Structure 1
Amino acid sequence: MPVLHTLKRAGVPLLTAAALYAAPAHPAAADEPGWTAGPAAGTAAAAPGGARPYFYLAGNAGTVLEDRLALTNTTDGERTVTLRGADAYNTAEGALAVRPAAPGPGNAAPGAGAWISFGAATTVKIPPRTRAVVPFTVTVPPASSPGDHPAAVVAAEGGHEVAVRVHLRVGGPTLAALTVEDVSVRGKGAAAVIAYTLVNRGNVALAPELSVRARGPFGEDTERGARTLPVELLPGQRVELTEPWPAAPVLDRVRFTLTVTAPGGARATAATSAWFVPWRLAGWLGGALLALGGTTAAALHLVRGRRARRDPLSDATSLHVPEPEHELTGAAR
């Protein structure tokens, strides 16, 4: 059963919602829903001041873990909120999202979201100006693999959903590993970007850092130091990212080398090459060469035509053909 706490209208600050670590399954309404959801305060894992941005639970396979969700009604009317567990994943662009409630064709097999249970409190009625603290359990199956199992607690009412992340780690050996794939260069000039795919090959979530080195035969080597990418890469997930490269050369063949690292010893490199050519200048040069080629062909054609029209005997030596002489066969008549 949820524990209800009445909030005073003045003098006591309302609890704020935890930072959303996963995108809502449905677009949020333009106005505020009138309620918030987040980890309940008062546990050893809470930060100073009692606030926790997400749930963090750890245990071995076969154990049952417990925590509490706080729902706060900030309006003068009763709110009815439904609760469920959900699997968390990376979108193709790297954002964190949660699986829909109803399984369907193409959905991934159930993960840690199915381990979350609110018992009989899957639907909670929250009186006006009241905070409800709802306990829930996470039952880790005995055959669970070690490492991170991304999940979330989802609260919903009237088409508005709020997902609060559950960072769940199952005890055992952990492996931080990743690969960089499908590296290519898109665009030109200041709009050039390096596109690539990151794949988490280990069993723990990664906070990757990227460094880029560019080398060209006609230009100096350029190296961009490591920077933390704005993505948390979950185990088994792949994301497609781009890195701006506004310093692309005017004319050069550049080899780009990407190096990605992450805490825990994860490291991967990949490379690609690309030509940077000023296509307007290339078009002008191509037109000039084409015009030059046409002029040369016309000149050759003219010379050959003149030779064909000349008299074949005009330059020959004149031949003198003597007239035939009459043979005298007898005396004069």
Structure 2
Amino acid sequence: MTPRTRAAAPLLAALAVLAAPPVPAAADAAPWTAAPVTGAKGGGGGGRGPQESRSAFYLEGTPGTVLEDKLSVRNPGDRPHTVELRGTGPWISLAARRVDVPPRTRADVPLTVTVPAGTPPGDHSAAVVVSGGGRWVRVPMTVRVGGPALSALSVEHVRVSGTGRSAVIRYALVNRGNTALAPRLTIRAEGLFGELLSRPASGVPDRLPPGGSVRLEERWPGAPRLDRVAVRVTATAPDGTRAAASGSYAPLPWLGPALAGLGVLAAAVVARRLLRRRRGPA
């Protein structure tokens, strides 16, 4: 580098900095949030303390009533946000479907929940969904409809498919009541010579809503290859409500008739020998 070039280097560097494009401002580090308004009286007993925040709506009422609450959309960032709002069920009505939220402020949107006449008592689930700026938030809602709670379960369609290590027990669990349940299930199997299986079922949901149903299956690698088995599935809710159903399993369908035939044949042989003894020697 020549002495003239060394002298010009600082000036060239300064010009390069001035000519460089400006660095874009970073995106908002704190995006908008959505939640029920703090301390709102969630209709009929769902209220909270004035300083207690809520992560979900909880409302109570009887059929035919209209419940009220509010959704709060907060914008802690430095630029405005526009969000879209919608309810997941026909019961929910929002005062606005689109809301503009200025920087460092919030927008409170009133909403109503109309419980139709004739709605069965129990818990009913819904949600308010808020979306905007490439993200969305689902705010859960539980509406408890007053009236006598009814717990009712049913176990249905118990069957076993496959044989040996590939055997699978399949069945359906249905909540036929009007309140959510968290049942425990046990599976028992008995063959011609006693008990073959007794254990809790796996994969049972933690919460089964009213009217909900689920199909479940249980692998049974120790299933017998030569037997006639009765499989019984029993469901028990925390309040003591029980339901059970059974299904038969015969890996070799001809085994039962064959054993029955052998029994008849053995009985005939024994009867013939007894008859001969009674007659004595010819």
Do the structures match in fold with TM over 0.5?
yes
1:39 to 27, 36, 46: 36
Cross-structure match for 2:14: none
In terms of fraction of residues, the more helix-rich structure is: 2
Cross-structure match for 1:116: 92
Cross-structure match for 1:64: 66
Deviations 1:45-77 (A, max 9, x none): 569x94545322111223222223333446554
Deviations 1:15-37 (A, max 9, x none): xxxxxxxxxxxxxxxxxxx5443
Offset, 1:188: 4.7
8 Å CA contact retained: 1:209, 1:227: no
8 Å CA contact retained: 1:210, 1:228: no
Deviations 1:173-200 (A, max 9, x none): 2211121111222445555432211222
Offset, 1:227: 7.3
Seen in structure 2, the aligned counterparts of structure 1 residues 72 and 253 have a Cα distance that, compared at 3 Å, is farther
Offset, 1:139: 2.3
Query: Residue type matched to 2:173 in 1?
Result: L
Three-state SS of the structure 1 residue aligned to 2:156 is strand
Give runs of aligned pairs for residues 110-259 of structure 1, distance below 5 A.
Answer: 113-119=89-95, 121-128=96-103, 130-157=105-132, 161-218=136-193, 220-225=195-200, 229-249=204-224, 251-259=226-234
CA distance in structure 2 between the partners assigned to 1:129 and 1:253 by the alignment: 72
Three-state SS of the structure 2 residue aligned to 1:56 is strand
Seen in structure 2, the aligned counterparts of structure 1 residues 228 and 192 have a Cα distance that, compared at 3 Å, is closer
8 Å CA contact retained: 1:63, 1:140: yes
Seen in structure 2, the aligned counterparts of structure 1 residues 220 and 269 have a Cα distance that, compared at 3 Å, is closer
Seen in structure 2, the aligned counterparts of structure 1 residues 128 and 268 have a Cα distance that, compared at 3 Å, is same
8 Å CA contact retained: 1:156, 1:162: yes
Three-state SS of the structure 1 residue aligned to 2:90 is helix
Give runs of aligned pairs for residues 72-111 of structure 1, distance below 5 A.
Answer: 72-73=74-75, 76-86=78-88
TM-score (norm 1): 0.55
8 Å CA contact retained: 1:180, 1:198: yes
8 Å CA contact retained: 2:203, 2:216: no
8 Å CA contact retained: 1:73, 1:127: yes
TM-score (norm 2): 0.63
Offset, 1:226: 7.0
Query: Residue type matched to 2:58 in 1?
Result: Y
Deviations 1:114-156 (A, max 9, x none): 221222x221223345554433221223443333333222223
8 Å CA contact retained: 1:189, 1:248: yes
Deviations 1:235-277 (A, max 9, x none): 2232222233344345544321101122344321011122457
8 Å CA contact retained: 1:207, 1:228: no
CA distance in structure 1 between the partners assigned to 2:225 and 2:76 by the alignment: 59
Gaps of 5+ in 2: 1-27, 41-45, 253-282
Three-state SS of the structure 2 residue aligned to 1:151 is strand
Seen in structure 2, the aligned counterparts of structure 1 residues 117 and 180 have a Cα distance that, compared at 3 Å, is same
CA distance in structure 2 between the partners assigned to 1:183 and 1:53 by the alignment: 40
Seen in structure 2, the aligned counterparts of structure 1 residues 220 and 265 have a Cα distance that, compared at 3 Å, is closer
Offset, 1:219: 5.9
Seen in structure 2, the aligned counterparts of structure 1 residues 209 and 227 have a Cα distance that, compared at 3 Å, is farther
Higher relative contact order (CA 8 A, sep 6+): 1
Query: Residue type matched to 1:78 in 2?
Result: P
